Amino acid sequence: MFAGITDEAIFVADYQTIYMASLRQPMKTRIRLPLKNLLRPIAIALDPFENRIYWTDLTNGVVGRSSINGKDQEIIHSGMVRPMGIALDLLAGNVYWVNNGNDTIEVSKLNGKYRKVLISNLTSPYAIALDTSRG
């Protein structure tokens, strides 16, 4: 299942882990992604072109990413208070996330470079979605 992502897979963040399951098979066949040190993954986003998954971990206060096989897991941002929602703009090469503890929406390149706050002074933001068709 790790060889390539199909359009018939679903990813689920559950307490201390992220699962991948085929929609062609019963949910009993879910596979735990081999990610380390997850405490409370809240949101996940998929880059199907690079076979990468991105997540926010509420307890660890991080934005992380890894290939689906877990071999190159890395933290691209840390030191946050309650990071929540996450979204990818694959055309622009950006990752966006909600920093609930600071009431902000932030962005960086997919590799973590050029981090900046886009919107501040929100009231308890949780989720984010992008309209990439309109830039």
Per-domain boundaries in the chain: 9-134
Three-state SS at 80: coil
User: Among residues 50, 126, 45, 132, which one has the least CA distance to residue 89?
Assistant: 132
Lowest mean pLDDT among 8-17, 97-106, 113-122: 8-17
Residue 1 has what pLDDT?
42
Three-state SS at 27: helix
Q: Which fold has domain 9-134?
A: Neuraminidase (2.120.10)
Provide the mean pLDDT of the chain: 90
> Does the pLDDT of residue 48 top 60, yes or no?
yes
Note the pLDDT tens digit of each residue in 79-111: 999 999 999 999 999 999 999 999 999 999 999
Residue 22 has what pLDDT?
79
CA angle 122, 94, 15 (to 5 degrees): 70
